[in-house]
């Protein structure tokens, strides 16, 4: 019976270890990204209502890269992390009475040969209650995320909301209140959300 080559055994063992480490790294990154998406919704809602203040804004804005781009219907587009919440609240004239953002069907996509960027998506339903109830509204749509790792921490580099319906509270409900926007081609989304390093 021939003895096993120790070098072959060591190489095989090292290959197994490397494979396990790669799997652990992937699972860790995926969990961190799922947590980031959930934190986005949680800290977002804390910024609205009478109990909210600048510290809540800062906590939410810290989830973004310094050069992050955000596109939110019907507000528009914002670049950078500082002042992003004030910009987001401008549509209703301030912090309002409260907001609830619910995200579901979340998916994150890691890139095989790129360990510092990733993609993600989630379906969202947001209820925003303004101080002036007539400015309150509800939005349903899909969030498209581009993530970038900064100093070993995942952050949001780009986020766009593609709206399917919007319901404004300024009138009694009827079909004319709903604004429908077709979803873009997924390939087009991925190309536009690629981080610019």
pLDDT digits (tens, 9 = 90+) for 135-172: 888 999 999 999 999 999 999 999 999 999 888 876 54
> Nearest Cα to 141, choosing from 81, 189, 196, 69?
189
pLDDT confidence of residue 23: 76
pTM value is 0.77
* CATH 3.10.450.50 correct for 6-193: yes
> Nearest Cα to 121, choosing from 17, 193, 197?
193
Poorest-pLDDT segment among 37-46, 105-114, 115-124, 139-148: 105-114
User: Which carries the bigger pLDDT value, residue 23 or residue 151?
Assistant: 151
33-38, Cβ contacts within 8 angstroms, sequence gap of 24 or more: 33/108, 33/110, 33/118, 33/120, 33/147, 33/154, 34/106, 34/108, 36/63, 36/147, 36/154, 36/155, 36/156, 37/103, 37/106, 37/108, 37/120, 37/122, 37/145, 38/103, 38/106
Whether 176 has a pLDDT exceeding 90, the answer reads: no
pLDDT confidence of residue 195: 52
Mean pLDDT over each residue of the chain, to the nearest integer: 84
User: Which carries the bigger pLDDT value, residue 122 or residue 18?
Assistant: 122
pLDDT confidence of residue 173: 46
Poorest-pLDDT segment among 9-18, 110-119, 161-170: 9-18
Q: What is the pLDDT of residues 51-89, one digit of tens each?
A: 999 999 999 999 999 999 999 877 899 999 999 999 999
Q: Domain coordinates of the chain in residue numbers? A: 6-193
Poorest-pLDDT segment among 4-13, 117-126, 181-190: 181-190
Whether 117 has a pLDDT exceeding 50, the answer reads: yes
Average pLDDT over residues 89-106: 93
Whether 177 has a pLDDT exceeding 50, the answer reads: no
Whether 190 has a pLDDT exceeding 80, the answer reads: no
Average pLDDT over residues 30-38: 97
Rank 82-86, 132-136, 173-177, 186-190 by mean pLDDT and report only the highest.
Answer: 82-86
Q: Which helix (H) or strand (E) holds 191?
A: helix 186-193
| Residue owning tokens 């579901």 | 104
């Amino acid at each position: 019976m021939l003895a096993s080559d120790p070098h072959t055994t060591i190489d095989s063992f090292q290959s197994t270890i490397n494979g396990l480490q790669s799997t652990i790294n992937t699972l860790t990154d995926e969990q961190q990204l799922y947590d980031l998406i959930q934190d986005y919704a949680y800290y977002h809602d804390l910024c609205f209502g009478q109990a909210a203040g600048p510290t809540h804004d800062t906590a939410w804005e810290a989830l973004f890269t310094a050069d992050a781009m955000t596109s939110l219907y019907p507000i528009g587009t914002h670049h950078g992390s500082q002042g992003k919440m004030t910009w987001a609240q401008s549509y209703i004239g301030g912090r309002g009475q409260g907001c609830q953002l619910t995200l579901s069907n979340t998916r994150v996509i890691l890139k095989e040969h790129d360990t510092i960027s990733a993609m993600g998506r989630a379906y969202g339903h947001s209820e925003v209650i303004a101080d002036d109830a007539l400015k309150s509204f509800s939005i349903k749509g899909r969030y498209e995320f581009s993530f970038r790792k900064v100093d070993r921490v995942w952050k949001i580099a780009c986020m766009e909301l593609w709206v399917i319906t919007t319901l404004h509270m300024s009138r009694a409900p009827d079909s004319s209140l709903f604004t429908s926007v077709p979803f873009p081609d997924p390939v087009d989304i991925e190309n536009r959300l690629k981080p610019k390093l």
